Amino acid sequence: MSFYLSLFVFIISLVAGLVLMIMAKGMHREKFLLLSSIHGIFLLAFLASLILQNSESAYNYFFMIFICSGVVLSGLSWRSDSPKVLRIYFSVFTLTFPIFLLSPSLLLNFLLTASFNKSTEQMLPLQGRYYLEKQNISRKKEDIEHYKLILKKGIFHQTVQRDLSFGGKLDSVKVIQFEPGEFIMIRGYTSQNTYVSTDKDSLDVQVPLASKKPGAIEYRL
C-alpha cells in the first residue's frame, strides 16, 4: 500500500510542478518565498522524525512529502522572481525524474526510506549478486506471496525473472544448483503456524537466468 501511495504522490507532484511552471509565470518573490517556507517546514518535520522515529518502522512519509514538495517547486522556481540560490536548490529535485524513468522501484524505495541502499522488502541472498525479493504487484491472480529474482548492480537492480511462487511466504532459501548464465535451482522453505503446531514445507523452483529482455533494467514495481 505504501508503494502505491508514494507512486501516487510523486506523479501528482510531477503534474503539479509542470502545471505551475506553465501557468504561474512571473510569480512575485514574496509568494514564492512563502511556498518555499512551507517546503522548509516539511524539511524540519523530516529532521524531527529522524529523532523521534520508531526504529521498527521502515517508512518516513515526511521525507516523501519533503521531496515531492521540492519537485512541485522545481519548475516554478525558474518561472518566478526567486533568488538564484533557490533556483539551483530546487533544480536538484528534478533529478528524481530520470531516476524514476530508469528504476521506479529504486526511487519509490528512496521516497519511503530516505536511502538508496535500504529496501522496504527483505532480500534473500542466493548466489553471488543474485537475490530473491518479494514483489509488491503480481500479474498472477493468486492470493499467495510472489517473488522476483534480481541481480544487484550497485544501487540498481536488474530483474531477471518475476512471479516466482513457493506456495507461501518464504522463511529461508537454499541454492540446490547454480549454472551461470543458464539457470538456478532454488529450494524455498515456508511455514504455516496454527494454535497447536507449525507446519513446514519446501518447494524446488528452477529459474532461468536469461531474462526476456537481456540487460533490461526493471521498470515495474
Looking at per-residue pLDDT, the higher value among 139 and 48 belongs to: 48
- Are residues 156 and 106 in contact, defined by beta-carbon separation less than 8 angstroms? yes
pLDDT at 186 over 70: yes
Per-residue pLDDT averaged across 78-98, rounded?
91
Per-residue pLDDT averaged across 52-74, rounded?
82
- Are residues 186 and 167 in contact, defined by beta-carbon separation less than 8 angstroms? no
42: nearest Cα among 20, 9, 19, 75? 9
pLDDT at 169 over 90: no
Among 45-49, 141-145, 189-193, 210-214, which range has the highest average pLDDT?
45-49
In the block, residue with C-alpha cell 515495474: 220
19: nearest Cα among 65, 74, 64, 67? 74
Bridge partner residues of 199 (DSSP) = 192
pLDDT at 95 over 90: yes
Average pLDDT score over the chain: 82
Looking at per-residue pLDDT, the higher value among 31 and 212 belongs to: 31
Per residue in 114-133, pLDDT (tens digit) is 887 655 556 788 988 898 88
pLDDT-derived band of residue 140, with 50, 70 and 90 as boundaries?
A: low
pLDDT at 195 over 60: no
| pLDDT at residue 82, as a whole number | 85
